[in-house]
Structure 1
């Protein structure tokens, strides 16, 4: 009986030792975290679960629910022409940026998504609502009857496509590539349009050349007015075909063909239209497009707030009259106000007469009277302006009563090109104050360093 009890006790002791052997008692004594040993099968299942979770995040077409992805960084400009350099957008994306639609006919939508523009004092343009749809509705002008043959008048089709996008909001009007659309004077207007409309221009828009299409004269050809969150982008072309306005009569030329052409020119109205104009609009983006041969100014912004322009090409021949590239204006009552905190950056010029100009004595009439009052100019930055000139690299002509201040130049390299009948001149400065952050080519020694004495610039609050 005693032997049986001893045998039973010995058996219980062996069982206890066997149970204790599955616990890392030694690891616990050495200060490590105690944990029960997991079986190989449970580890394998856990690893498989991690792999499945990771792959589901990459399968955008999967119906399985996945955790909310983190915010993506802002889109890059694609071709390296950094619009981020002038404005330094925030690393996090803005919900106000226009949303590019999916490609139509395999063209055009490789252009970068436009960042939220910021401009003006305080960099606080009105915010744009978040689009209701990630892609938005797409309205192709061809679907509204546009022919795209360069001869048929497609104005009504463009108006109809815009009207549909205007009602929808957060939508896109598409002008497809490889087609040429003849469009007469047109206004894409609000203020009752819903916000965030993208005008995706990948084809070519040409202006009419008959005097009948312009009537007694218009100030603009293509106009976007009183809109909030409007963008025009793409690889397309706006061709103003302004040759009719540039031609002038030569009294020494008696050839019949030229005489006939001059008669046609005389029929054109004296008021010449700007090719592309934005008026009274907020959060405007113009990106990637090309504007050529405007009859007058190529691109104009009037009474707009929050403007971003990048990767735009503007071109017209040397003999074109008054075909300025970009006009920024918000004038009220012909001479009081200020221009403040403006930046020109990453601009390439080629055989331009005078690439950099501030001229407070400018007059486009034959006879001009000398004026003493002028718009105050301050905080104008020129960065990475490169190329060639034919007359003068820099012309800063500022008012005696209101000198220019805070003019800065960085990375300016402008080299002369000798053109017959043109005489090269040195940089010119008058009452211009600022600083050269880097050496310029050619040297701009005429710029006064520092600030003008007693120069009290007006602010917006001073203009009542």
Structure 2
């Protein structure tokens, strides 16, 4: 009897400990950066305080939140690394400002998340790379046209991150790409606002490479380069309800500049609008020896408002002529354009400039209605080189496939 009672108490104790551990693992704990020395005066460097808060949050076995309260915080280049022991959130309620001194950027990125599973970045706050103040910095003026400055200052980068959600943020004044996604799986952007002047170079909104399962929804992007850029190794992407403009549109590429394999497939762009962009939905490959395949793309239910090149495939891409060109070896196939309407900013509303050696195959144009009002009343036209496919339903301009 005593043995049975003792055994019962041991079982009860084990059960209680198990419940306590489970509850602890399910709890959310806040790690407020102010408790680690952060000062919201807009001038103090808070990098160490942010990194200390991250380190302890990353070691918490339950749900952790790095909490950045309302206020203006200056932060130098920082790297937040995992793996972490539990799901982790980076909650930005305040206004984050980058330094104006280029020397304080120890990497090409301002805020970098690496090797993390189950990450959320949100809070309604602002990311300000402060580029225009950087230009006015007396020590920096001589650097403004240098190559080093051109490649630095990506606002936020995600490397090898899995299951992440970025939402309710605003990114402004970036010197380079606002958000970079590399080597990631299942990353979602929603309710995010991105802005940079229309004439600012290289300020892509969201750029991704070697990643899969990327979703971008309910997002507004106003920038000086691609609103969204998808590079080699990208697959299974869903872009819904995105407003783009100004900028260079939603682009695949550029691809094939070097001799590497450049594969990209399963992309769907739906219910998006473009306003005063230089391009709309674009695929671009270099006329160079790089090889690859681009396939399984669907663009549907898209509105164009005074877009320079609403629909364009350019396999002779050469932004900095003169170029040593040869026919592109990137194969583009199985691309559908469906229910695309609005107003073209140029007479040629549809351009398919495909490769002579690897022509575009299986292109489908369905229900296209793109108007152009020229001085003499002429309408829009289409241009096709080396393309095979079919046209379904009404076509304006008249299809050249």
Coarse TM-score class (shorter-chain normalised): 0.5 to 0.7
Q: Does 1:404 align with 2:344?
A: no
Alpha-carbon offset, residue 131 of structure 1? 9.5
Q: What is the Cα deviation at residue 137 of structure 1?
A: 1.0
The residue number in structure 1 matching 2:290 is 373
Answer whether contact 1:383 1:410 (CA < 8 A) is retained.
Answer: yes
Return 276-285 or 263-272, whichever deviates more.
263-272
Corresponding residue to 1:202 among 70, 89, 93: 93
* Structure 1 residue matching 2:197: 3-state secondary structure: coil
What residue is the counterpart of 1:243 in the other structure? 132
Instruction: Note the C-alpha offset of 1:395.
Output: 2.1
CA separation of 1:132 and 1:280: change in aligned 2, threshold 3 A: farther
Deviations along 1:187-224, one digit per CA (max 9) or x if unpaired, are: 11013x22421112222211111133126xx3211110
Normalised to the residue count of structure 2, the TM-score between the two structures is 0.64
Residues 1:198 and 1:260: Cα distance change in structure 2 (over 3 Å): closer
Is the 1:360–1:375 contact (alpha carbons within 8 Å) kept by the matching residues of 2?
no
Matched, 1:149 2:44: no
Q: How does 1:302-313 map to 2 (within 5 A)?
A: 302-313=182-193
Question: Which digits, 9 at most, give the CA deviation of each residue in 1:337-390, with x for residues without a partner?
Answer: 4101122334344322213221012xxxxxxxx314333111122244435345
Are residues 259 and 153 of structure 1, via their aligned partners in 2, closer, same or farther at CA, if it must alter by over 3 Å?
Answer: closer
CA gap 1:267/1:391 in 2 versus in 1, 3 angstroms: closer
State the secondary structure of the residue aligned to 1:344: strand
2:224 match: none
Q: Distance in 2 between matches of 1:183 and 1:260?
A: 19
The equivalent residue for 1:350 is 275
2:112 to 223, 236, 242: 223
Task: Report if the CA contact (8 A) 1:232-1:286 is conserved.
Answer: yes
Higher strand share: 2
Question: Is there any run of 5+ residues in structure 2 with no aligned partner, and where?
Answer: 1-21, 211-231, 234-257, 316-326, 355-359, 372-379, 391-401
Write the deviation string for residues 387-414 of structure 1: whole angstroms up to 9, x where unpaired. 5345322221247533312222344345
C-alpha distance in 2 between matches for 1:437 and 1:258: 52
User: Out of 67, 82, 86, which is 1:190 matched to?
Assistant: 82
Gap change, CA 1:350 and 1:180, over 3 Å in 2: farther
Corresponding residue number in structure 1 for 2:209: 329
Q: How far is the alpha carbon of 1:160 from its aligned partner?
A: 1.3
Q: Contact 2:173–2:196 at 8 Å: present in 1 too? A: yes
| SS of residue in 1 equivalent to 2:96 | strand
If you compute each CA radius of gyration, which structure gives the higher value, 1 or 2?
1
User: Following the alignment from structure 2 to structure 1, what is the Cα–Cα distance between the partners of residues 272 and 41?
Assistant: 34
CA distance in structure 2 between the partners assigned to 1:372 and 1:268 by the alignment: 25
Higher helix proportion: 1
Query: Relative contact order (alpha carbons < 8 A, sep ≥ 6): 1 or 2 greater?
Result: 1
Cα distance, 1:336 vs structure 2: 0.5
Worse-matched range after superposition: 303-312 or 376-385: 376-385
TM-score by length of 1: 0.56
CA distance in 2, matches of 1:444, 1:131: 65
Moved over 6 A (4+): 257-261
* Structure 1 gap segments, 5+ residues each: 1-129, 248-256, 362-369, 418-422, 452-464
